[in-house]
Structure 1
């Protein structure tokens, strides 16, 4: 999974960090998750704790999108076999399928082919009838991969407002509040298009808190946000939105455009939702690897948020505390966390949240500590890598590393230090994973 792994694993601590990363990513892969959480016995389909009688349906289809959507479709094909009749999913990581059509889109900025692919999903939903069971597979990245401009908007409008929100460092909940109200399928509107069919939503969460309304902007679940929330987001982050976007949101806030369906809407009477995997799935697997290696695992949190370079300083401080006092855990220890850190882009360099996290931490890590910080989808922003593997020796020029952070150019600096961690697309996406190894050697 990890390129040049032997070169990166230059000490036992580095090797353990890489093993934890591999275990975390592998545990969240749809093939393993679906195998563990979904099965068919006779005419009974079990999804987590829900049992569905397949005899009640003439057709079963898979619809959805996200970075891991095609892999999830393959896994569902393996479980359902000839009980699965087809479907459409959109992804930027396509794989070969037998029954489900895989369409391509782009992330993080929506594209023209994504619009066409999203339209195919919408049309499939509209074509479903009362006797169809829709398995809606939605994973991280689905918001950008399923662009469906609302009436009066163009793709360029979605691209512009998305780019502006991401550059401003807006949290995903705020970004999605705007996306939903500029879309024809997000925010429960795909469920409205398919109604009154039965929809079972299968989620691979890449958001802190696993809110179904946030994952992929919630196409098949109730939307708690409103046009007023979208307008508030544009104002709070001082977004210079395209005129058509601003006009639509203003009209919606004034009650002139139909709201996205909320929890009281009848479209959700025949729907259910299951979070099959999330960031904790990855952390738990990494924790088992650490324990098996004789290290004491300590989970800080699965919901870390904030500016990447600032959150990283706290992790480095925890490493120093462990080294100096044995608190909150005696070394050898592995400190684990996950979540969704962000970067406020002010420079024009190459990087991503995990690269900035790793470089910032490396500037103050104590000796005999190693830190891996990765995005579990294998693509950390614009870095060209999943993240980085660093130690106390990574930063040999404090001024240069500081300039790299100021220019949002962490990946360039880390690349020069042979510290980038590359995996390529991993087939899953459950957000960031941070692995901090504090050995008992001075």
Structure 2
């Protein structure tokens, strides 16, 4: 009886094997053949150390598609003499999981361990993830999960505490070139591309090794004489869409890059990340909202006009739509990047919230409370209040904090942009307050 969830392909009828895709034919047969990922596979890297010591723990591979997560898992099973079982969280429910665990138990009773590779493990819900724990703890399975999403956000703390997270990185152009050369060796001929076209092909793969091999397979199938240039390649082959998940890691990575480029006063980098998000299909309304947040959080009173610029660009987009309205947002990006920056107001707000939480329900000082009734007047409400318009310089210098609360310094403006003027005013009132206290 065939083993449950055995991933070994059945031979075709007549004993002939169907043609295999290039990506499958070039799948490494040993960990030493894996291209890239030296940071996890090297002799002093986590997997290298585990294998050398003969002690492999459960793992979670976190990385983009096409960098070798499945291949490394399969080779780890070979290296440790474990039976390899592969499932996908997309297609596997609780009944199928039970069958996997039961088969692993039988296998273990017969002296054979199981390496269970779970692709897209983050798609399992909390209860399903919890279901792995007892089988990991008693050694029924050695779990290797693969995810393109941040495990810290997507996986249970209990599961993460029993597995080591290893980050697999995007393949570099040098890695992709090595892969292309390996493909040419397998096919017995070179790519019919000139130098720039070859580089363009590598860039089209967008750091995805599997995608590159699929592209190479397409190019090798063409009947051409001589070498194609970049224009000819682009005509025959559509550029692969950049990886972008509007609800996943790439979404947060790119908006972080945009925000920090604006904060770092780099309009070119800010425009680049803004364009990357639009090209990935991001909702311009989300970008309009985030730009307005940047104006409030990072520019604030250093340039009070920045907020109005963003709100105006947002309104222009709502009226014009795409693509014309996106230009208004792009101009807001440039304005924000070049505006003076301050987080003094933001810091003051957080400090004020912390102080409010600490002081609880402290009453305002009585002299700034209104006294609409005689009883309140008798209690001293409003007594001693000084009307600032009648005071010298229009400033009384009275205390407005609760009695017993030491006057704090919450707002400390910087010497940039319009906030320089606000600092001058604040220093002026601080000086007057000190004179009134003398």
TM-score by length of 2: 0.30
Larger Rg, first or second structure (1 or 2): 2
* Higher RCO, Cα 8 Å, sep 6+: 1
- Which of the two has greater helix per residue? 2
- Which of the two has greater strand per residue? 1
TM-score by length of 1: 0.29
